[in-house]
Amino acid sequence: MSEQFNVTVNLTTEVCIVCGIVFTLPCVLRDELIENGKSFCCPFGHRQYFPEDKDEKKVGEENKSLKSKLKYWKNKANKVKK
């Protein structure tokens, strides 16, 4: 006697940055790869990874710093014009 099971798996699509193939990953696996910074391969064996959020945070902090410096220098320039 055999039993049947219904299983639902949530998948997300990814694109290989080397060959451009579109493939799917289970969402749980994708989240784990992002969290742990581990690499994985596309179906053709090209190594992939998700960049760390630290890079995005660093760029965001640099952007804020540059904006505040720009504001400072604009204020200085406006004072000189008057």
How confident is the model at residue 37, as a pLDDT? 86
How confident is the model at residue 77, as a pLDDT? 79
What are the extents of the domains in the chain?
1-50, 51-82
Bridge partners (DSSP) listed for residue 23: 14
One-letter amino acid of 76: K
Q: Could you give the residue ranges of the DSSP H alpha helices within the chain?
A: 27-36, 53-81
Residue 60 has pLDDT above 80, yes or no: no
Q: Which residues contact 49 (CB under 8 A, 6 or more apart)?
A: 33, 37, 38, 39, 40
Q: Could you tell me the pLDDT band of residue 6, with boundaries at 50, 70 and 90?
A: very high
Distance separating alpha carbons of residues 52 and 20, to the nearest angstrom:
22
pTM of the model: 0.55
Task: Return the ∠ at Cα 55 (arms to 37 and 73), rounded to 5°.
Answer: 175
Bridge partners (DSSP) listed for residue 48: 40
pLDDT tens for 29-59 read: 999 999 888 999 999 999 999 887 666 667 7
pLDDT tens for 9-36 read: 999 999 999 999 999 999 999 999 998 8
